[in-house]
Amino acid sequence: MASFKLSIILLSLSLLHILSGVYSTTFTILNKCSYTVWPGILSGAGTPQLSTTGFALQPDESSTLDVPTSWSGRFWGRTRCAQDPTGKFSCVTGDCGSSTIECAGGGAAPPVTLAEFTLNGAGGLDFYDVSLVDGYNLAMTVVPQGGTGGNCRSTGCVADLNGACPTALKVMSGGEGGESVACKSACEAFGDPQYCCSGDYATPATCKPSSYSELFKAACPRAYSYAYDDGTSTFTCASADYVITFCPSPSASVKSANGEFPSALEVSAGTREASASFIGCFLAVMAVMAAAWTLAGH
């Protein structure tokens, strides 16, 4: 009986350990745009797909996601989305080709602003960045909350690059006379290896910033502007949660600790609760622990 009791207790401790690692990081996605944004999510190779891969966020609405330990992937915002008479869902920018609101493993069609993460990487640090390598469609910031170590700072692109986009890179909506809704990368616009860092330009020594990438970098100094823009664009943090904000408004928002980007701490009534599976696991662990406590004679 004593060995049985000990086994139950060890099982309880093991389940608690597993539970603590199932959801290690919380992401809050906040839409401060004046229009609906449909976030898209793509998990990296070898990491689990999250509970959702796409949904709608109304203006000032937020959503929270619990993300597993050692997850990697990317977030982005889709705009001007609609469903046609046949039920096919598509977006003018950031479309993931799934024909549904859920991206279901589909990546973002450029041009699109990307927030990229590798959690619990080298040295136990999270690595994250906001990238304009695939172009730009939305202003976006990433703000770590409660993290330590590394270069644990806010990053992103708060500028509206659609209006300032060079004519050769602009994506127009509504044809001639329409408005600029996205800004292509030079690689996508021209396909030249020197802009794409491919072929003879596939190394940091041969692929240098172009006049186009320098425009992105001047407007958004902490965002990736081309493939080898690592030094000023990759950030690290340990044990942090993250707030991803679309269309941040620095003049109207609480500032982050470094005073440069909005912290976006406010969470609207639209915030989603923790997943039911997480709550179920927690209740199961508590039940096992209670049984172990009873068997131990308490």
Banded model confidence at residue 271, pLDDT cuts 50, 70, 90: very low
Task: Say yes or no: 226 and 202 in one domain.
Answer: yes
What pLDDT is stored for residue 175 in this prediction? 62
Banded model confidence at residue 272, pLDDT cuts 50, 70, 90: very low
The count of other CB atoms within 10 Å of the CB of residue 113 is 29
**pLDDT of 267 over the 80 cut:** no
What pLDDT is stored for residue 174 in this prediction? 73
- Please identify which residue in the block is written with the tokens 């290690």: 24
pLDDT cut 90: percent of the chain above it: 68
Question: Whole domain around residue 186: which residue ranges?
Answer: 26-273
Task: Say yes or no: 174 and 252 in one domain.
Answer: yes
DSSP secondary structure letters along 43-73: EPTTSPPPS-SB--B-TT-EEEEEE-TT-EE
Task: Say yes or no: 32 and 86 in one domain.
Answer: yes
Mean pLDDT computed over 288-297:
46
Average pLDDT in the chain:
81
- 3-state DSSP percent of the chain in helix, strand and coil, to 5: 25, 30, 50
Task: Say yes or no: 177 and 133 in one domain.
Answer: yes
Task: Say yes or no: 6 and 67 in one domain.
Answer: no
**pLDDT of 260 over the 80 cut:** no
**pLDDT of 273 over the 70 cut:** no
Mean pLDDT computed over 5-15:
40
What pLDDT is stored for residue 297 in this prediction? 56
Is 0.75 surpassed by the pTM of this model?
A: yes
What pLDDT is stored for residue 249 in this prediction? 76
> Which two tokens mark 119?
């959690």
pLDDT cut 70: percent of the chain above it: 75
Task: Say yes or no: 124 and 212 in one domain.
Answer: yes
| Stretch among 22-26, 107-111, 228-232 having the lowest mean pLDDT | 22-26
Torsion (CA) 270, 276, 277, 278 in degrees, nearest 10 = 70
Task: Say yes or no: 269 and 279 in one domain.
Answer: no
Task: Say yes or no: 3 and 132 in one domain.
Answer: no
State the Cα angle at 48 between 43 and 52, rounded to 5°: 70
What pLDDT is stored for residue 150 in this prediction? 82
- Please identify which residue in the block is written with the tokens 């292509």: 184
- Separation CA 159–CA 141 (nearest Å): 10
| Stretch among 86-90, 149-153, 198-202, 233-237 having the lowest mean pLDDT | 149-153
- For the chain, the domain total comes to 2
What pLDDT is stored for residue 149 in this prediction? 83
Task: Say yes or no: 86 and 101 in one domain.
Answer: yes
Looking up residue 261, the CATH number of its domain turns out to be 2.60.110.10
The pLDDT tens digits for 168-209 are 999 998 766 688 999 999 999 999 999 999 999 999 999 999
The pLDDT tens digits for 51-71 are 999 999 999 999 999 999 899
What pLDDT is stored for residue 21 in this prediction? 43
**pLDDT of 154 over the 60 cut:** yes
Nearest to 216 by CA among 115, 137, 116: 137
The pLDDT tens digits for 70-105 are 999 999 999 999 999 999 999 999 999 999 999 999
Task: Say yes or no: 36 and 110 in one domain.
Answer: yes
Q: Are the beta carbons of 144 and 241 closer than 8 angstroms? A: yes
Task: Say yes or no: 10 and 40 in one domain.
Answer: no
Task: Say yes or no: 128 and 190 in one domain.
Answer: yes
- Per-residue burial over 206-241, b = 16 or more CB atoms within 10 Å of its CB, e = otherwise: ebeebebbebbbebbebbbbbbbbeeebbbbbebbb
**pLDDT of 251 over the 70 cut:** no
Q: When comparing pLDDT for 298 and 292, which is higher?
A: 298
> Which two tokens mark 111?
């041009």
